Amino acid sequence: PPPQTTEKEVAIEAVNLSFKYPDGTLVLDNINLKIYKGEFTIIAGLNGSGKSTFALHLNGLLKPTSGKLLVFGMDTKKRQNSSAVHKKVGIVFQNPYTQFVGNSVEEDVAFGPENLNVPRDEIKQRVSDALSAVRLTNLSAQDPSSLSGGEAQAVAIAGILAMETDCVVFDEITSMLDHKATERVLNIMEELKNKKKTVIYISHEPKDVLKADRIIVLDKGKVTFDGKTNEYIRSEKYPLPDLIHFMKLLKDGGYDVSEMVSTPEEAVEEVRKF
Ligand code: ADP
* Mean pLDDT score, 6-22: 92
Does residue 269 surpass a pLDDT of 70?
A: no
Burial of 241 (0-12, 13-18, 19+ CB in 10 A): exposed
Identify the residue whose C-alpha is closest to ligand 1 atom 21: 21
d(CA 145, CA 162): 19
- Taking the CA of residue 53 as reference, the ligand 1 atom at the shortest distance is 6
Ligand 1 pocket member 52 (CB < 6 A): yes
Distance 101 CA to ligand 1 centre (A): 25
Most confident residue range from 90-94, 236-240, 260-264: 90-94
Q: Provide the pLDDT for residue 178.
A: 76
pLDDT band at 213 (very low <50, low <70, confident <90, very high): confident
Q: Provide the pLDDT for residue 27.
A: 97
Distance 52 CA to ligand 1 centre (A): 7
pLDDT digits (tens, 9 = 90+) for 46-83: 889 999 999 999 999 999 999 999 999 999 999 999 99
Distance 143 CA to ligand 1 centre (A): 31
Identify the residue whose C-alpha is closest to ligand 1 atom 5: 50
Does residue 271 surpass a pLDDT of 90?
A: no
CA angle 198, 160, 51 (to 5 degrees): 60
Q: Provide the pLDDT for residue 22.
A: 93
Q: Provide the pLDDT for residue 1.
A: 58
Ligand 1 pocket member 49 (CB < 6 A): yes
d(CA 274, CA 255): 9
Distance 240 CA to ligand 1 centre (A): 26
Distance 65 CA to ligand 1 centre (A): 15
pLDDT digits (tens, 9 = 90+) for 187-210: 888 899 999 999 999 987 666 776
Ligand 1 pocket member 94 (CB < 6 A): no
pLDDT digits (tens, 9 = 90+) for 33-48: 999 999 999 998 888 9
d(CA 219, CA 44): 9
Reduce the DSSP state of residue 70 to 3 states and report it: strand
Q: Provide the pLDDT for residue 58.
A: 96
Asked if 19 and 65 count as a contact pair (C-beta separation under 8 A), the reply is: yes
In angstroms, the Cα distances linking 213 to 39, 185, 272 are: 7, 17, 17
- Best mutation site among 17, 19, 25, 46 for ligand 1, i.e. most ligand atoms within 8 A of its Cβ? 25
Distance 158 CA to ligand 1 centre (A): 27
pLDDT band at 220 (very low <50, low <70, confident <90, very high): very high
Q: Provide the pLDDT for residue 145.
A: 86
Ligand 1 pocket member 21 (CB < 6 A): yes
Identify the residue whose C-alpha is closest to ligand 1 atom 12: 27
pLDDT band at 212 (very low <50, low <70, confident <90, very high): confident
Ligand 1 pocket member 53 (CB < 6 A): yes
Ligand 1 pocket member 76 (CB < 6 A): no
**Alpha-helical regions (H) of the chain:** 51-58, 82-88, 105-115, 120-133, 149-161, 179-194, 206-209, 229-234, 240-252, 264-273
Q: Provide the pLDDT for residue 270.
A: 62
pLDDT digits (tens, 9 = 90+) for 105-147: 999 999 999 988 899 999 999 999 999 998 899 999 999 889 8
First to last CA, the chain: 18
What percent of the chain has a predicted confidence (pLDDT) above 70?
A: 80
